[in-house]
A and B are shown apart, each in its own frame.
Chain A
Amino acid sequence: MNSRNSRNGLILFAVYLLFYGGFVFINAFDPASMERTPIAGLNLAVLYGFGLIIGAVVLSAIYGVLCGDASGNSSASDQQEPKA
């Protein structure tokens, strides 16, 4: 794998893992906080849940942009590489 893409991917993966892990652990060990309504009358469960879905879409778009420059190289090298 293109090493820059790989590094970017792993960094973004770590960011999302923290975000997702936070959601799961709050649910497991402090479920009452999911019932609080911090913004616009919406509870934390709905806000965090939508945040995780929208966050995944945003991070994947960022990854796409970050890999954008490298895609040409990546494609070229892929096409030259013999198939297993």
Chain B
Amino acid sequence: MIYESSILAVTIFLAFVGFTLGLSFWLGGKAKSSEGYFAAHGQIPWFVNGIAFAGDYLSAASFLGICGMIAFYGYDGFLYSIGYLAGWIVALFVVAEPMKRLGRFTFADALDSQFNSKGIKLAAGISTLVVSVFYLIPQMVGAGALVTPLLGFPQWVGVVMVGAVVILIVVTAGMLSTTWVQFLKGALLVVFSAILTWMILQRGFKVEKGGNDGHEFQTFRITTDDLTNGDGKVGSLEKVDVVPADNGWEKFDKKYVRLQNRETQLITVWMMKELTEKDGPNLELTEVQTLSKAKDGTIFVNGQKKGDKKGEPELFAVGHVVELPDGKTETGPLSAIDFFRTLQQSKVVLWRNEKVVHADKTETTVYYPKITTGAEVLRPGEHPTFKGIRSEKMFDKVNFLSLMLALFCGTASLPHILIRYYTVKDASSARKSTIVGITSIGLFYVLTLYLGLGAMTSGTLDVSEENMAAPLLAKGMNTWLFAAISAIAFTTVLGTVSGLILAAAGAVTHDLLGSAFGVKMTDTEKVRVAKMSSVVVGAIAIVLGILFQKMNPTFLVGWAFSVAASANLPSLVMILFWPKVTKQGIVAAIVVGMVSSMTWILLSGEAYSKVYGLDAAAAIVPFSQPGILTIPLGFLTLVVVSLLTTGRQQTAA
């Protein structure tokens, strides 16, 4: 689609971002010491910290990735909402209070509280860095996805903008300003998502023939003879010839037919479906959309060079209902329950895609419609990530179980969440702020299902950009709302990225340089080193955000959760509940959990197909999500190594 910026949207957006930055700088001036920079002097009120948890957690992955996945595949995106929230139960019931009691700046402090070991600081510091960088990638990808429809810039510009602004925030401010900004954004994101949900319910459902750009997708019936008799007439199309299926299309000669207009020479692609009726037409042709990139970089949509202004060739907007219960054409406003009940009995058009590879190695992506019943939309197991639910293969099921385990265990192991326990004054405040966080995050996740399904039926979707479903939904409703939602989501990305970079900078300064390598630093030097680390981590995040821009942020977050849970959770839990833990056990568990989960991910089918562009079937490991093996492996390593080294530690003591 063509994204043109609106002056109103940009003005609101810039005003909001400007206010956020101003607040950051003003508060940043109040936190000059390392205690203030990393932990806001531990003086943040628990309610504010709780909403800031929501600001930290409801990131690009939550808002853009989940809504996009639901808009394109239905219920499956909601499985992430469920898993992400369930993880907070581990954080509240198991980790929150002891983390606050044992630590000071970083979670390495908590692990090391009994041992004073350089090894633990080193391992935990590296783990924090790795998990932060893994988690930063989807945030940057999401930032790029937000900027494109709002400002009309290419995605990479969005990534660079976010990176630059975040580095500015972190270098000039610190945890105090990050917390207040997160409080503001977390609250506004939940409130505006609720407003958008209310508007979706007021709109209800309406039967349409295409998206909100006015294009009606055509379907007509023909006989096989119409394709071969050469009279130039195919269904409702005049003066067209069938183009022979060659140059990669021969692989799809039973599925697609290409028709060329004799006057304009324009080639359009149609999906063929054989009909079972004995008399009359035996084929149904349905209009599809195509996107291809020539060797010289020129992009073609539906056979024409893609334009860059409204009215010029672009992909058509999609996402519509084709059938409502009882033959209705419109429902009018719906209640929160009737929304699902009506959709359950309706039919909607979802879009799937496949690639045609040509002789010169260029590709054409074909986007084709798939009429889907509401019952299928509202059941899990349609997205490739969750195919294990409907698969008969045991490894596919294990992959699903593994992902849900990683989501459950990952939240309580994320460094930027863990450091937020040090911004409140005591364990009781840590607990209360977690409860506030769970309530606000839970409310938001309930709304994600309405937002995603609302986008699915909004007629605003871009078939080539799943991540833009939520902003485009808002844009379809109201320009003001779009500007407000985009600005909040964008600044939420800024805040989440700031938190992650702060966690990484804390790990470098406090755990690695200060403790593991014994570098003596004054308070001012610590803050300076942390700021320098922030610039480096921010630059790495910008590069990775551009490299991974086509991947769904939620999917990438799944990987980050697996690494966090495998590397950090075994040590965090065991140090609280098992008195025989040794420092060697902790170091071994972190290293084994981190290395095994990362290695598994890099050798998985998902990485083969989505990162290296290779055949997923050639992958070395049998399923993609490592958590089900690597989390227990972390626990096992900790227990075995601790038992083997208990005697040594006692002797040494």
Binding site for B on A (CB under 8 A): 1-2, 5, 9-10, 12-13, 16-17, 20, 23-24, 27-29, 31, 34-35, 37, 40-43, 45-46, 49-50, 52-54, 56-57, 59-61, 63-64, 67, 71-72, 74-75, 78-79, 81, 83-84
Q: B46 → chain A, closest Cβ, in Å? A: 11
When distances are taken between beta carbons in the complex, the residues of chain A under 8 Å from B435 are 60-61, 63-64
Chain A to chain B contacts (Cβ below 8 Å), 20 pairs: A1-B427, A13-B93, A13-B94, A17-B89, A27-B400, A31-B389, A35-B375, A41-B344, A43-B378, A43-B379, A50-B446, A54-B446, A59-B89, A60-B89, A60-B438, A64-B432, A75-B426, A75-B428, A78-B100, A84-B113
C-alpha spacing A81/B442, complex, angstroms: 33
When distances are taken between beta carbons in the complex, the residues of chain B under 8 Å from A83 are 104
C-alpha spacing A58/B438, complex, angstroms: 10
- A9:B93 contact, CB within 8 angstroms: yes
- Contact of A53 (CB < 8 Å), options: B82, B401, B426, B428: B82
C-alpha spacing A27/B449, complex, angstroms: 18
- Contact of B427 (CB < 8 Å), options: A31, A57, A78: A78
When distances are taken between beta carbons in the complex, the residues of chain A under 8 Å from B397 are 28-29
- B78:A57 contact, CB within 8 angstroms: no
C-alpha spacing A59/B434, complex, angstroms: 12
B32 CB–A CB distance under 8 Å:
no
B323 CB–A CB distance under 8 Å:
no
- A27:B89 contact, CB within 8 angstroms: no
Given contacts A27-B389, A53-B445, 14 further A-B contacts (CB under 8 A): A20-B86, A27-B381, A28-B397, A28-B401, A43-B379, A46-B340, A50-B446, A52-B82, A56-B438, A61-B435, A64-B435, A74-B428, A78-B427, A79-B426
User: Which 5 pairs across A and B sit closest by C-beta, in order of nearness?
Assistant: A84-B113, A9-B93, A41-B341, A13-B93, A78-B426
Most chain A beta-carbon neighbours within 10 Å: one of B75, B90, B427: B427
C-alpha spacing A57/B440, complex, angstroms: 9
Measured CB to CB, the nearest residue on chain B to A72 is: B428
- A10:B446 contact, CB within 8 angstroms: no
Q: For residues 99 through 134 of chain B, which have their beta carbon under 8 Å from a beta carbon of chain A?
A: 100-104, 109-110, 112-113
Q: For residues 309 through 324 of chain B, which have their beta carbon under 8 Å from a beta carbon of chain A?
A: none
When distances are taken between beta carbons in the complex, the residues of chain B under 8 Å from A2 are 97, 427
- A31:B102 contact, CB within 8 angstroms: no
When distances are taken between beta carbons in the complex, the residues of chain A under 8 Å from B408 are 20
Most chain A beta-carbon neighbours within 10 Å: one of B94, B100, B397, B438: B438
B510 CB–A CB distance under 8 Å:
no
- B438:A28 contact, CB within 8 angstroms: no
When distances are taken between beta carbons in the complex, the residues of chain A under 8 Å from B425 are 79
When distances are taken between beta carbons in the complex, the residues of chain B under 8 Å from A28 are 388-389, 397, 400-401
The answer to whether residues A45 and B432 also contact, given A52-B86, A53-B82, A59-B89 and a CB cut-off of 8 A, is no
Most chain A beta-carbon neighbours within 10 Å: one of B89, B400, B401, B435: B89
B85 CB–A CB distance under 8 Å:
yes
When distances are taken between beta carbons in the complex, the residues of chain B under 8 Å from A23 are 82
B648 CB–A CB distance under 8 Å:
no
- B432:A56 contact, CB within 8 angstroms: no
- A1:B97 contact, CB within 8 angstroms: yes
When distances are taken between beta carbons in the complex, the residues of chain A under 8 Å from B432 are 64, 71
Most chain A beta-carbon neighbours within 10 Å: one of B82, B102, B103, B389: B82
- A52:B113 contact, CB within 8 angstroms: no
When distances are taken between beta carbons in the complex, the residues of chain B under 8 Å from A46 are 75, 340, 378, 449
- B92:A78 contact, CB within 8 angstroms: no
When distances are taken between beta carbons in the complex, the residues of chain A under 8 Å from B426 are 74-75, 78-79
The answer to whether residues A57 and B438 also contact, given A1-B427, A78-B426 and a CB cut-off of 8 A, is yes
- B85:A40 contact, CB within 8 angstroms: no
When distances are taken between beta carbons in the complex, the residues of chain A under 8 Å from B307 are none
Q: B428 → chain A, closest Cβ, in Å? A: 4
B98 CB–A CB distance under 8 Å:
yes
- Contact of A56 (CB < 8 Å), options: B88, B98, B379, B428: B88
When distances are taken between beta carbons in the complex, the residues of chain B under 8 Å from A52 are 82, 85-86
When distances are taken between beta carbons in the complex, the residues of chain A under 8 Å from B438 are 56-57, 60
B390 CB–A CB distance under 8 Å:
yes
C-alpha spacing A84/B121, complex, angstroms: 13
- Contact of B101 (CB < 8 Å), options: A1, A42, A61: A1
C-alpha spacing A83/B425, complex, angstroms: 12
Q: B454 → chain A, closest Cβ, in Å? A: 15
B81 CB–A CB distance under 8 Å:
yes
- A1:B388 contact, CB within 8 angstroms: no
Q: B42 → chain A, closest Cβ, in Å? A: 10
Could you mark each residue 330-349 of chain B with 1 if its beta carbon is under 8 Å from any beta carbon of chain A, else 0?
00000001001100110000
Q: B109 → chain A, closest Cβ, in Å? A: 5
When distances are taken between beta carbons in the complex, the residues of chain A under 8 Å from B428 are 67, 71-72, 74-75, 78
B576 CB–A CB distance under 8 Å:
yes
When distances are taken between beta carbons in the complex, the residues of chain A under 8 Å from B427 are 1-2, 74-75, 78
Measured CB to CB, the nearest residue on chain B to A50 is: B446
B306 CB–A CB distance under 8 Å:
no
When distances are taken between beta carbons in the complex, the residues of chain B under 8 Å from A84 are 102-104, 109-110, 112-113
Measured CB to CB, the nearest residue on chain A to B440 is: A57
Q: A68 → chain B, closest Cβ, in Å? A: 9
C-alpha spacing A60/B87, complex, angstroms: 12
When distances are taken between beta carbons in the complex, the residues of chain A under 8 Å from B109 are 84
When distances are taken between beta carbons in the complex, the residues of chain B under 8 Å from A45 are 75, 378-380
- B576:A1 contact, CB within 8 angstroms: yes
- B381:A31 contact, CB within 8 angstroms: yes
